[in-house]
Amino acid sequence: MRPKYHISPEQGFLNDPNGLAQFRGKYHVFYQWLPDVVPQGSKQWRHCISNDLVHWTDEGSALQPDEWYEKNGCYSGSGITTEDKYFLFYTGNVRDAEGGRETYQCVAVSDDGKSFQKEGPVIYLPDGYTAHFRDPKVWKKNNSWWMVVGAQTKELQGNVALFESNNLKKWDYRGNLLDPSMDWGYMCECPDIVDIDGQQFLIVSCQKETGCKGIVFSGKMDYIEAKFQLDDVGNLLDAGFDFYAPQSFVDESGRCILLGWLGAGKLDYQMSQPTVKEGWLHSLTIPRELFVQNGKLHQQPVKELESIRRHERVIEAEGHTFINQETWSAELLAEQISDQKFSFNFGNVLKISFANNSMVIQRKHWSSEEYDEVRAEISVIKNIRVFLDQSTAEIFVNNGEKVFTFKSFFTDDKWVEVESEKTIRIKIWRMEA
Ligand code: FRU
């Protein structure tokens, strides 16, 4: 069940991607980690390094909760590199015996990108917020450093706090970024501001009574007024069931790359997953390049993933087509679909069908014969790219305009069935990292 080209823990529990950056040519990804397969506990930052965003080495734990200001977990945060240093900003989580909570935004610094020296808290909780205040994301703009922190106001509403600094050490509070008359849920986790070709987006993981989702808003980051002015009402960044807490970074070539947690959900939904018996749970998504087309944020797998395509097969599918699969670590690209009714069935675990402007994705539940289903209104499907990796599936529709991420526990039934009215051009590869 272990993915071959996704980051997943050898052992234990993984959640959010953290600290993303490219430092002296190498890509660094950290993730929230616990040595045991339980969702709650004193989180550590597990560290991975790569030259190509595809092959990763596990560097062990970079941050462990051993100081007073983080004793119940080194929670999520981000990475910033300067010419000679790599800074990690993260939340020190502290609980007391009565269940009370304290939060400190902390920094750790490295000269070599391997060992990080903790410098302790740089931000204490400002007035107006509860202790649900975490996940600092730092970036540079207009000769200043900026930080957004996910927050819950004293009114128990989600918002995002903005800070400014000129030295990464002393931070000035600039206010609440978001319009409080909107429904942001009861807490905004993992906020991120993305700037692509002068267009800005706010990404935020909203906790609502109805569920927790990563949402992207298009708008304008007003640094003078310290407000994010919305241009739309927000869209799911990924409409699958198993995607949360995404984070972006800009690499040395200027690409904006995003990874998310390929997991999340209610406690029994997570703990009933079959990999728990193997002693590990969850993975990160593949790295996705963000770009803007027709004013909308799109995601495409980074091009480096093409380097692990093996054994290409080209199939002109029409009517009923049966494709034998050697492995569930694979990529499928379907093009020239034009306007027609079609469906894909991946070993009865994942099914994609399209008819009458409506796309339906069904994913088989692991502990029953039932399928969970997502529907999306799409007028025309031009292309679909599906990335499968043993227990994961990521579906990119129309050049990544819509993306759907699912846990998919494939079996030994290794085949893909395609039904189509007209010809669909399919390419399929085995992926070997
Ligand atoms: C999001 C989150 C963050 C927090 C981290 C703790 O999944 O709840 O807000 O920092 O996970 O592991």
Which candidate, 338, 342, 335, 339, places its Cα nearest to that of 318? 342
Cβ contact 242:221 at 8 Å: no
Dihedral angle sign, alpha carbons of residues 70, 211, 396, 216: negative
Catalytic residue among 16, 135, 238, 389: 16
Is the alpha carbon torsion for 174, 177, 180, 185 positive or negative?
negative
pLDDT at res. 57? 98
Quick one: which of 351, 367, 198 has its CA closest to 269?
367
Supply the pLDDT for residue 339.
85
Q: Residue 320: is it exposed, middle or buried by C-beta count within 10 angstroms (0-12/13-18/19+)?
A: exposed
Q: Which of 181, 196, 191, 197 is nearest to 215 (CA)?
A: 191
User: Within the chain, which residue ranges are assigned CATH 2.115.10.20?
Assistant: 12-301
Q: How many residues does the chain have?
A: 433
Query: If you average pLDDT over residues 274-292, what whole number do you get?
Result: 98
| pLDDT-derived band at 408, boundaries 50, 70, 90 | very high
Active site residue 16: yes
Mutation choice for ligand 1 from 14, 15, 282, CB with most ligand atoms inside 8 A: 15
Lookup: tokens for 132: 């649900």
What architecture (CATH level 2) is domain 12-301? 5 Propeller (2.115)
CA-CA distances (angstroms) from residue 233 to 177, 184, 190, 229, 244?
Answer: 15, 11, 19, 11, 19
Q: How many CB atoms lie within 10 A of CB 30?
A: 30
What residue ranges of the chain are covered by domains with CATH 2.60.120.560? 303-431
Q: What are the pocket residues of ligand 1 if the criterion is a CB atom closer than 6 Å to any ligand atom?
A: 15-16, 32, 43, 75-76, 91, 134-135, 189-190, 244-245
Supply the pLDDT for residue 232: 94
Architecture of domain 303-431: Sandwich (2.60)
Take atom 9 of ligand 1 and give the residue whose Cα is closest. 189
How far, in Å, is the centroid of ligand 1 from the Cα of 250?
Answer: 22
Q: CA–CA separation, 358 vs 362, rounded Å?
A: 13
Q: How confident is the model at residue 406 (pLDDT cuts 50, 70, 90)?
A: very high
pLDDT digits (tens, 9 = 90+) for 162-197: 999 999 999 999 999 999 999 999 999 999 999 999
User: Is 192:137 a contact under the CB 8 Å cutoff?
Assistant: yes
3-state class percentages of the chain: helix first, strand second, coil last, to nearest 5: 5, 60, 35
| Encoded tokens for 17 | 């991607």
pLDDT digits 0-9 by tens, 344-394: 999 999 999 999 999 999 999 999 999 999 999 999 999 999 999 999 999
* Cβ neighbourhood burial of 247 (10 Å; 0-12, 13-18, 19+): buried
